Amino acid sequence: MLAQRTRNKTAWRIGAAAVLLLVTQEFTRANDATPPNVVLIFCDDLGYGDVGCFGARGYQTPHLDTMARDGIRFTDFYVASPVCSASRAALMTGCYPERVSIRGALGPRDRTGLSHDESTIAEVLKRRGYATGMAGKWHLGCNPSQLPIHHGFDEYLGIPYSGDMWPHHPEAPKTYPKLPLIDGDHATDADITPEDQVTLTTRFADRAVDFIRRNRERPFFFYLAFNQPHVPLFAGDRFRGKTERGLFGDVLTEIDASIGRVLATLKENGLDEKTLVIFTSDNGPWLSYGDHAGSAGPLREGKGTCFDGGIREPMIARWPGHIPAGKVCREPASTIDVLPTLAALAGAKLPERPIDGLDIRPLLLGEPGARSPHDSLFFYYANGQLQSMRSGQWKLLFPHVARTMNGQAPGHGGIPGKYRKLEVGLELYDLDADIGERTNLASQRPELVRELEKKADAIRRELGDSLRKQQGTAVRPPDRAPVRSGA
């Protein structure tokens, strides 16, 4: 009896020790998996061909190229819409812009903004204890209550919308209000002048550098949203007149040098292996601006179209010790995947409301044989038109009216040329064989077209399609500021 009791006691002790060991191991593992810092760098109107390692000519981007050599380059990375606000809504929320009702480019007097019922990347990571900061262009609502510090960012320095929405721009309506520089939710400079604009790229990078230094002891998320190379182009004094490509090349050189400073700051603070850095842009080049526009490289068309030139972007990610060096990912992925992927890496909860993005950690971390989790990606533009979709190697465009500069006189020196209308039919392209979307295979592959159409019908039921006068059942309203901004 006594022997039995001793055996039981011993067994209990062994069991308790095993449980303790497991708990300790779990705890150690959890500590090993300290959430990574994240620096998300987003450009404005940067084309697929505007980075050295994606084929840029006439200037160099050595820091971005090194970032790609140290990490991974995505060749088939998409935004959700070919224009600023809609694209940024998708990045920030992980949702198609139609789901959160942010369309097109919001104007300086718009009352519309991103709903406070949506969760941004900043809010998701903040709930996990991250310090959160942003510098640059927001463009998801310009009224004070709609600015980044009311969407999960602890701090913000930047411009509330595009740099061309100001009275100084040759093409802008003269009724545009002055463009403010915002710190927090107040204008720190109520009237940005051209002399101020030349300083912005470096000032936004300065804020990123300062933020990283201040927060080096805790997990942080910084969103560095350069408002260049969107027109009007401005490069700092040290960069102007330095490249064969002219002002556009100078602007890219400054952006690249600024990214170099951010990477150097991470290194100096011992944060290289603790920090994931992601680089991409909001939409393709604004082609009507000619020499002041970027290049879509081999892709067709640009900003404001759902051909790949408008929606496919260079994407580079770097995280030494976690992302293998020199990888190239050719699987389709999208800015809508950034939120769920960062949430998974950080061990943070996803937003409660449905989102469209998916966790692409296997692609990002360069796992061999990793495949895109998306069966299809959908592209909305122009007041709720579902204009195109990508599924595997296939791209399907739905009949609509787009715009093109083909055959038009190009813009020059910051003055745009004029687009002409382009009637787009039902068009099917095999992007593996035809990256420039030249050979329409729709009539040769009717069954494939029908199959893709069925997939499009499913998203139309949820998000609607104004080309078919169809309302979506899952569309959520935006924020409406009660009073128009005077900013």
Q: Which is nearer to Mg ion, 44 or 65 (CB)?
A: 44
Q: Which is nearer to Mg ion, 79 or 363 (CB)?
A: 79
Contact between 313 and Mg ion per CB under 5 A: no
Tell me how far, at minimum, the Cβ of 84 lies from Mg ion, in Å: 4
Q: Within 269-308, which residues bind Mg ion (CB under 5 A)?
A: 282-283
Amino acid present at 441: L
Considering the candidates 43, 63, 84, 151, report the single residue annotated as catalytic.
84
Sole window of 81-89, 138-146, 259-267, 417-425 interacting with Mg ion (rule: CB under 5 A) = 81-89
Tell me how far, at minimum, the Cβ of 227 lies from Mg ion, in Å: 9
Does the active-site annotation cover 139?
Answer: yes
Strands 394-397 and 385-391: antiparallel
By beta-carbon distance, which residue lies closest to Mg ion? 84
Among 46, 56, 84, 124, binds Mg ion (CB under 5 A): 84
Tell me how far, at minimum, the Cβ of 383 lies from Mg ion, in Å: 18
Amino acid present at 252: L
Contact between 81 and Mg ion per CB under 5 A: no
Q: Are 51 and 69 in contact (CB under 8 A)?
A: no
Sole window of 9-17, 45-53, 112-120, 145-153 interacting with Mg ion (rule: CB under 5 A) = 45-53
Amino acid present at 326: G
Among 45, 70, 154, 313, binds Mg ion (CB under 5 A): 45
Q: Which two tokens stand for residue 114?
A: 């991103």
Sole window of 78-86, 150-158, 174-182, 208-216 interacting with Mg ion (rule: CB under 5 A) = 78-86
Sole window of 39-47, 257-265, 373-381, 388-396 interacting with Mg ion (rule: CB under 5 A) = 39-47
Tell me how far, at minimum, the Cβ of 43 lies from Mg ion, in Å: 8
Tell me how far, at minimum, the Cβ of 254 lies from Mg ion, in Å: 18
Q: Are 82 and 318 in contact (CB under 8 A)?
A: no
Q: Please identify which residue in the block is written with the tokens 């791209």.
A: 395
Q: Which is nearer to Mg ion, 81 or 283 (CB)?
A: 283
Q: Which is nearer to Mg ion, 44 or 479 (CB)?
A: 44
Tell me how far, at minimum, the Cβ of 231 lies from Mg ion, in Å: 10
Q: What is the 3-state secondary structure (H, E, C) of the chain?
A: CHHHHHHHHHHHHHHHHHHHHHHHHHHHHHHHCCCCEEEEEEECCCCCCCCHHHCCCCCCCHHHHHHHHHCEEEEEEECCCCCHHHHHHHHHHCCCCCCCCCCCCCCCCCCEECCCCCCCHHHHHHCCCCEEEEEEECCCCCCHHHCHHHCCCCEEEEECCCCCCCCCCCCCCCCCCCCCEEECCEEEECCCCHHHHCCHHHHHHHHHHHHHHHCCCCCEEEEEECCCCCCCCCCCCCCCCCCCCCHHHHHHHHHHHHHHHHHHHHHHCCCHHHEEEEEEECCCCCHHHHHHCCCCCCCCCCCCCCCHHHHEEEEEEECCCCCCCCEEECCCEEHHHHHHHHHHHHCCCCCCCCCCCCCCHHHHCCCCCCCCCCCCEEEEECCCEEEEEEECCEEEECCEEEEECCCCCCCECCECCCCEEEEECCEEEECCCCCCCCCCCCCCCHHHHHHHHHHHHHHHHHHCEHHHCECCCCCCCCEECCCCCCC
Count of residues that interact with Mg ion, criterion CB under 5 A? 5
Q: Which is nearer to Mg ion, 44 or 465 (CB)?
A: 44
Q: Within 398-457, which residues bind Mg ion (CB under 5 A)?
A: none
Contact between 334 and Mg ion per CB under 5 A: no
Q: Which is nearer to Mg ion, 283 or 388 (CB)?
A: 283
Q: Which is nearer to Mg ion, 82 or 332 (CB)?
A: 82
Sole window of 80-88, 253-261, 445-453, 462-470 interacting with Mg ion (rule: CB under 5 A) = 80-88
Sole window of 22-30, 44-52, 133-141, 340-348 interacting with Mg ion (rule: CB under 5 A) = 44-52
Q: Are 83 and 457 in contact (CB under 8 A)?
A: no
Q: Which is nearer to Mg ion, 265 or 283 (CB)?
A: 283
Q: Cα-flanking dihedrals φ and ψ of residue 58, to 5°? A: 90, 0
Q: Which is nearer to Mg ion, 37 or 85 (CB)?
A: 85
Does the active-site annotation cover 43?
Answer: no
Tell me how far, at minimum, the Cβ of 136 lies from Mg ion, in Å: 12
Among 44, 76, 308, 337, binds Mg ion (CB under 5 A): 44
Q: Cα-flanking dihedrals φ and ψ of residue 132, to 5°? A: -130, 135
Sole window of 57-65, 82-90, 350-358, 456-464 interacting with Mg ion (rule: CB under 5 A) = 82-90
Tell me how far, at minimum, the Cβ of 102 lies from Mg ion, in Å: 13
Tell me how far, at minimum, the Cβ of 105 lies from Mg ion, in Å: 8
Report the phi/psi class of residue 451: left, alpha or beta, with left for phi > 0 and alpha for psi in -120 to 50. alpha
Considering the candidates 43, 95, 139, 374, report the single residue annotated as catalytic.
139
Binding site for Mg ion (CB under 5 A): 44-45, 84, 282-283
Please list the active-site residues.
84, 139
